[in-house]
Structure 1
């Protein structure tokens, strides 16, 4: 069935709207990128002005050479034939002076530009790192670590290549082209017309190159980012890859992405392989035309030989910087695509924001209340439909339930990694959104199942929450959770270096170190999110004493599937579909016939 005129009009209007939206988005991205670049260059205004003066002096020194050659041939040599070497000496000295000034100014220009470039890159690296730490957990759970690494590595590397050499080269080249065209026109306007005529096909070729290279370099950056993401994901999940024997599959996927990256690079190289020879052809043809026309004019006596020599030198030199501009455009397109991605990262705003006027929380008690809390992740389904819960200060509460019941979501709201969609989370009667992050992180601490250890010493890892803690406090925290003895048995005791993810210590020992870290931080509220789920039975027994010490005299929320961990709680909340369906002490719930009693019975049977 053919579309009706009305249907075709609606479709056309929709396509036009989408095109307009795409253009507006592209313009917004470009404006954002240019705004970032301007902001980065703003502190270097004085250095940029000095660099501009140096590049002008360097260009004048280079452009003066052919003009002095013309004067030497047409004026100094005839006088030398007559026995007067004055002009030859003057022009010779001027030529040497121009070369010296041009060389010194060019060298100084490169050094100044390099300082500016390195200053901009240093600022940008710090901004990217600071931004990734500033953004909320929601961002990091959706924006993969591989993409963030790509922003900090390959994208900044593309900008470095542009700023280190490409930008200085193109500024010098464009200045040289302008000065050459102006000097040639002043020296002989007819030769200037020949050069102007050659600029038409050169401009058309350059425009053709620009349109295609813009697409090809975006494809190249995208392929590069995907390759990095795949590599990071594979290395991070290597245990799973080897456990499920997926080496050949991941190798095949990585090989496909590598081939895509190779093809993207070949497309850009192939495009450049057509552009540069095209420019060389136009340049050589222009020199030939200038020589033919100039030679004919010299024979007719309407042009001096020196002027012809200078015109040929100018024309030949003019096309050399055009090639450099073309090479720069390659780096520029790559850097522009990278700058778009970096500026996009820097434009992200945290979803959990600092209050403008935070309320003080000097001595937190740990009284928690969730007042009719409703929550959904972004535009996804509602996870907590209407949760009303009070946890008195000093109470240890265990959360149990099936996967997806909302336990970890509740923990993320209590620690304010996310803000509620509706309702309030209150600590000592104060909405968490009214507390500064400093007060909140001092009052509420989460220990996760990963028990992440950073590169550094055992001492530094325990003191993560209190970097200025004295050694006696660090050792006291380790003793309190039962970690002191095994730390002393390490090669260098508290100075032992742990590698990434704590490979020098066992899972149970890692968990004890994380408990010591939390004990030293001394929070009013402690959240344990599956903190013992990765431990075996001996490992769990190892941390039980440390866990009980850690939980004393503070409000605690324990998320656990193991009922041995739940047994130390004052109160158990059984959750299902984002709601509390059972609430009571472990003994009372076990004595009943509800879900927790069934879970306890199944657990007891598993022990038998």
Structure 2
């Protein structure tokens, strides 16, 4: 990720070096001014003092300008890297399959995109330039002091030893502490997101107190970890300040005695003291950099782990184009199980001719939705193949497959935006007339037209301005507009009331006409209009025939039909 910004990064590195060179010249110029320029001024020569003052002013201005330029250059580099990393995380997360998203909580994904990338931002924005500046400041200061007075340099070397020991202690302590802080922060975000996502269940079952207690416990854990990190920082900062002050006092004492003996000039002593104070300050900055580094390392491990996730439903290496699809479906000896779990579909053989509507019924967990997910290629089979017009869906170009097979689920998810925009997801670029025609086909036009802004009405986040049944009708209009060759309805009418269901049944007849349909439903009112019904149990087809044939056969479907008829006859 650094390679594309290598040239700007090299420019920032040059600016860092020049800035430190400009700043390190100050104490030497002060020493020159006191020991050489002031005596020359007494002799009536003002040139040396003007020269020393002018050079000092130029060095100070240059140091300030170069420091500001360093910040701007490093910010451009860091923001370019972070932008690409943020985009890469989002792109990769979208590429990952349904199996990943079902086991990787939304709170953890949000934490990767927010707090973890923020930790990297803190490191890249100022941490790296701070480290480079501090290391160069120490090196240049040591060289300057050695040139100015090597004996004072020896005292400084003696002071470095406890500084290094303290810095190492801080590194060890802060490493564990910052990892704990990152972990507790991520857990806090996950708890908050899950509580807010499931707020309806929390309030419905009066779980506010328990949820609050769980959140409070995680918040207290985060507070304790942060407080300990602050304590470690406090010990480190205080220790470095103590070492610096003691070192300055020793250099001043020893140097003062040498001045009295005539072995050292006053200007050199003042320069040595300034260099000494300047030498130890960067150790604290290096320690603070290590804080950012540990936090960013822990965050980067999590981001890298996310980016290392491989999709279990990869795009085909040599995709087969299917510009026109008839809709002939076949499950050829399909065996499937989720993840490394038990087999859900054992050796399923099924053929659905083009244009036929097939309903799958059975108890919960029988494998009906699994058939739908395999057909839409949300998962790949373990053995066998799912064929569309004789082509394995694993080999079909993803764009062609998504145009050919559209799945409408029970959730009926709506995005923030207008109703028209949500319907147009079925076919981006559709005209307003086409969107309205799709809405009319499924019977939702009157509902939309009665809203304050019509098709421009904002459904708000997750469609909360619409009822569950209304959201389902909008999702049907979206599917109608997509005009797929194969339509999969997975409990798509479960959210509808009786009037709404009757309305949708009329729309379904239009929607299903002339296309292959796989309908999964518990309501037999949706099933009875199908050409063919499959009774599924434990991933196996137990009964197969038209609705009337299966009712006459007296098997499981006949019993389900009888129970449905009794429910219709029962008084409200």
Residue 217 of structure 1 deviates from its aligned partner by 0.9
Aligned to 1:18: none
Aligned to 1:558: 519
1:341-364 Cα distance to aligned partner (Å, 9 max, x none): 112111212111111211111110
Alignment match of 2:338 (pick from 377, 380, 393): 377
1:41-92 Cα distance to aligned partner (Å, 9 max, x none): 2211111121112111211111000000111112112222222222111111
Residue pair 2:409, 2:492 contacting (<8 A) in 1 also: yes
CA distance in 1, matches of 2:68, 2:381: 59
1:74 aligns with 2:35: yes
Alignment match of 1:302 (pick from 263, 272, 281): 263
Aligned to 2:276: 315
Residue 155 of structure 1 deviates from its aligned partner by 1.1
TM-score, with normalisation over the residues of structure 2? 0.97
CA distance in 1, matches of 2:152, 2:371: 78
Aligned to 1:605: 566
1:143 aligns with 2:143: no
Residue 602 of structure 1 deviates from its aligned partner by 2.1
Aligned to 2:67: 106
Q: Please give the secondary structure, in 1, of the residue aligned with 2:428.
A: coil
CA distance in 1, matches of 2:493, 2:143: 77
Q: Please give the secondary structure, in 2, of the residue aligned with 1:157.
A: helix
Alignment match of 1:549 (pick from 497, 510, 530): 510
1:2-48 Cα distance to aligned partner (Å, 9 max, x none): xxxxxxxxxxxxxxxxxxxxxxxxxxxxxxxxxxxxx2x22111111
Residue 544 of structure 1 deviates from its aligned partner by 1.4
CA distance in 2, matches of 1:349, 1:410: 23
Alignment match of 2:166 (pick from 202, 205, 227): 205
CA distance in 1, matches of 2:525, 2:242: 81
Residue pair 1:507, 1:539 contacting (<8 A) in 2 also: no
Which one is further off, 224-233 or 166-175?
Answer: 166-175
Residue pair 2:358, 2:533 contacting (<8 A) in 1 also: yes
CA distance in 2, matches of 1:352, 1:100: 59
1:222 aligns with 2:183: yes
1:555-578 Cα distance to aligned partner (Å, 9 max, x none): 111111111111111111111111
Residue 593 of structure 1 deviates from its aligned partner by 2.5
Residue pair 1:401, 1:576 contacting (<8 A) in 2 also: yes
Residue 506 of structure 1 deviates from its aligned partner by 2.3
CA distance in 1, matches of 2:511, 2:169: 68
Aligned to 2:358: 397
Task: Please give the residue correspondences for 1:156-175 in structure 2 after superposition, counting only pairs within 5 Å.
Answer: 156-175=117-136
Aligned to 2:370: 409
Aligned to 2:90: 129
Structure 1 unmatched runs, 5+: 1-38
CA distance in 2, matches of 1:601, 1:321: 83
Task: Please give the residue correspondences for 1:449-468 in structure 2 after superposition, counting only pairs within 5 Å.
Answer: 449-468=410-429
Which one is further off, 390-399 or 584-593?
Answer: 584-593
Alignment match of 1:524 (pick from 475, 485, 490): 485
Structure 2 unmatched runs, 5+: none
1:269 aligns with 2:234: no
CA distance in 2, matches of 1:509, 1:148: 30
Residue 437 of structure 1 deviates from its aligned partner by 0.8
1:531-550 Cα distance to aligned partner (Å, 9 max, x none): 01122223222321112211
Residue pair 2:167, 2:236 contacting (<8 A) in 1 also: yes
1:585 aligns with 2:531: no
Which one is further off, 70-79 or 271-280?
Answer: 70-79
CA distance in 2, matches of 1:376, 1:473: 40
Task: Please give the residue correspondences for 1:341-356 in structure 2 after superposition, counting only pairs within 5 Å.
Answer: 341-356=302-317
Aligned to 1:255: 216
CA distance in 2, matches of 1:568, 1:316: 87
Residue pair 1:512, 1:546 contacting (<8 A) in 2 also: no
Alignment length (residue pairs): 569
CA distance in 2, matches of 1:554, 1:417: 21
1:112-131 Cα distance to aligned partner (Å, 9 max, x none): 11111221221121111111
Aligned to 1:446: 407
1:57 aligns with 2:18: yes
Residue pair 2:329, 2:352 contacting (<8 A) in 1 also: yes
Alignment match of 2:534 (pick from 551, 554, 573): 573
Aligned to 2:382: 421
Aligned to 1:436: 397
CA distance in 2, matches of 1:535, 1:144: 29
CA distance in 2, matches of 1:470, 1:181: 72
Residue pair 2:442, 2:503 contacting (<8 A) in 1 also: no
1:496 aligns with 2:475: no
Residue pair 2:361, 2:522 contacting (<8 A) in 1 also: yes
Residue 582 of structure 1 deviates from its aligned partner by 1.2
CA distance in 1, matches of 2:389, 2:157: 78
Q: Please give the secondary structure, in 2, of the residue aligned with 1:353.
A: coil
CA distance in 2, matches of 1:537, 1:205: 74
Q: Please give the secondary structure, in 1, of the residue aligned with 2:119.
A: helix
Residue 385 of structure 1 deviates from its aligned partner by 1.5
